Amino acid sequence: MTSTYVTRFAPSPTGYLHLGHAFSALTAYKAAKDAGGKFILRIEDIDLTRCRTEYESAIYEDLEWLGLDWDPPVRRQSDHFEEYAEALETLAENQLVYRCFKTRQEITDEIARAPHLSPSGPEGPQYIGAPLKANEERSLMAKGAPYAWRLSISAAQEFLGEKFHALHFTAELENGETQRVNATPALFGDAVIGRKDSGVSYHLASVYDDALQNVTHVIRGQDLYHAAHLHRLLQALLALPEPVYRCHRLITDDNGKRFAKRDKSATLRARRMSGATPEAVRAELGFR
Ligand code: GLU
């Protein structure tokens, strides 16, 4: 059976799309078209405090304006919390996750006290903790104390045995060549995979959905390159297939700074309002 090439654009509706998003969407769209495959759109809106439906509607409008279409249906992550909870439950049944009641400040203080125990990951030193004793946990839960779920890297290592160090992911380079990269998920320490507020994190929801939606090629910005190390581990723990990872360069402004949602002038809306055509925006980003 030949598998169809499937890639996706997975924005979070926390602001209007800017040129960086457009570049990402166009890159994935072109890759799908060149491969005769599918381009799908996923709305990553698990952060209920920051995501807004008006930004979601704007995503559809802006992408259409840019000339993109996608294979339906659009998956909205906020409609699927129960599925992510089930995936988390699978990990919990295998004692791969634990509840962490600590506040952000407590975590920072602990890392500062024991830097030698904290792996230094792509985003600075990472936390490694341990589950609480059953009675301590029960009493905190009885009080309704909020908690996050953390993936225990030592439990994952024990669970996978020799396979843990043999984990690799495929990275596709700009020139189309692929490389097998040894996955080192320990870089992330005991990563939060279930947030205190919504019970799921980007890592879990994204890995789960990529598998569910048969994504064969994950195309996203270089800023997320390291996430593949952790995502590959989650796939191994949840017995999910592994996609190819392609990270594209990041689009920057005239000062070499990455666009952020606060850069109002770089949004597709602003471009449109100031009279730019979709063709001009595509050409500016190197697409026809
Ligand atoms: N939702 C993420 C973002 O807006 C993208 C995640 C991904 O492509 O894996 O940055």
Beta carbons within 10 angstroms of residue 245's beta carbon: 23
- Taking only the tens place, the pLDDT of each residue in 129-183 is 999 999 999 999 999 999 999 999 999 999 999 999 999 999 999 888 999 999 9
Q: What is the pLDDT at residue 1? A: 47
Model confidence at 10: pLDDT above 80: yes
Select from 162, 163, 181 the least CA-distant residue to 171: 181
Average pLDDT over the chain reads 94
Pocket test for ligand 1, best of 14, 55, 56, 206 (most atoms within 8 A of CB): 206
pLDDT tier, 5 (very low <50, low <70, confident <90, very high otherwise): very high
Beta carbons within 10 angstroms of residue 200's beta carbon: 24
Atom 3 (ligand 1) nearest CA: 11
Pocket test for ligand 1, best of 39, 40, 44 (most atoms within 8 A of CB): 44
- Taking only the tens place, the pLDDT of each residue in 210-263 is 999 999 999 999 999 999 999 999 999 999 999 999 999 998 877 788 877 667
Query: Which of these ranges, 94-103, 105-114, 178-187, 272-281, has the smallest mean pLDDT?
Result: 105-114
Q: What is the pLDDT at residue 262? A: 67
- Token pair of 2 as six digits: 């030949």
Cα of 138 vs centre of ligand 1, distance in Å, is 35
Q: What is the pLDDT at residue 116? A: 80
Q: What is the pLDDT at residue 120? A: 79
Cα of 221 vs centre of ligand 1, distance in Å, is 8
Pocket test for ligand 1, best of 43, 202, 213 (most atoms within 8 A of CB): 202
Atom 10 (ligand 1) nearest CA: 11
pLDDT tier, 3 (very low <50, low <70, confident <90, very high otherwise): low
Q: What is the pLDDT at residue 114? A: 82
- Taking only the tens place, the pLDDT of each residue in 44-58 is 999 999 999 999 999
Atom 6 (ligand 1) nearest CA: 10
Q: What is the pLDDT at residue 259? A: 76
pLDDT tier, 121 (very low <50, low <70, confident <90, very high otherwise): confident
Q: What is the pLDDT at residue 261? A: 66
Q: What is the pLDDT at residue 41? A: 98
Interhelix angle 81-93/202-212, nearest 10 degrees: 100
The closest-lying atom of ligand 1 relative to the alpha carbon of residue 8 is 8
Give whole-number Cα distances, 10 to 43, 179, 253, in Å.
6, 24, 22
Model confidence at 282: pLDDT above 70: yes
Model confidence at 122: pLDDT above 80: no
The closest-lying atom of ligand 1 relative to the alpha carbon of residue 223 is 10
Q: What is the pLDDT at residue 2? A: 53
The closest-lying atom of ligand 1 relative to the alpha carbon of residue 227 is 9
Q: What is the pLDDT at residue 82? A: 97
| Tokens 């792509």 sit on residue | 122
Q: What is the pLDDT at residue 124? A: 81
Query: 231 in the Ramachandran plot: left (φ > 0), alpha (ψ -120 to 50) or beta?
Result: alpha
Average pLDDT on 99-103 reads: 96
Model confidence at 61: pLDDT above 70: yes
